[in-house]
Amino acid sequence: MRIVVMAATLSAVPFAAIAGDNFYVGAFGGYGSLHATATVGGTAGSTDMNGGRIGGFAGADFLIGQGWLIGLEGDISYDRNSLSATAGGFTGSIGTDFGASVRGKVGYDLGPANLFLAGGWTGTNLFAKVSGLGSANQWLNGYTVGAGVDFKITDSIFARGEYRFNQFETLSGGGASVGFNQHVVNAGLGVRF
């Protein structure tokens, strides 16, 4: 009976692509602007840390019905952004470097291009270094939302452009709190299997 129910369910779902060119891998480069807002004793201040980024992604898209698609994608990245300052004979820097995300996707296949919205979990490594005193790292979790387009170059190769907004958790302690968010623009190249 279970097999009959499963077969009936699968035949009723209008999957246009269950196997074939739905799995993909790729690489990207881009630009990120990390915004930090700190509050200490009721006084607030903020700063931006901007820089380039590179990474890789992998995922799968499945067509459902008339051009609509759903998918799941993961990526890893390295952001080159930090802020440095010197005070009292010490030089310190703070920033983020390695990051990752896992996102669900929904989109529409226009033929030469796929438009998509994506959102899910993201995380990044926050580092702080002070000369002569050492360094510390803290992993920050958060969420990411964004939109993009994949342009078909050939049947298996595509170019990607996308925007993301990343909101990371707030760090707090000792009467101070620091929150982080990031705007990201990526361009990439991928291969479908």
Residue 9: the pLDDT is 42
Chunked in runs of 10, what are the mean pLDDT values of the chain (193 residues)? 46 42 92 91 88 97 90 96 80 90 96 95 92 86 98 96 96 86 97 93
Q: What is the pTM of this model?
A: 0.83
Residue 117: the pLDDT is 98
Strands annotated E in the chain? 23-40, 43-64, 68-87, 90-109, 113-130, 134-152, 157-173, 176-192
Tokens 């009721």 sit at which residue?
A: 42
In the chain, domain spans: 53-171
Q: What mean pLDDT is reported for the chain?
A: 87
d(CA 76, CA 66): 32
Residue 105: the pLDDT is 97
CATH classification for the domain delimited by 53-171, as one of 2.30.110.10, 3.40.47.10, 3.30.1600.10, 2.40.160.20: 2.40.160.20
Residue 134: the pLDDT is 84
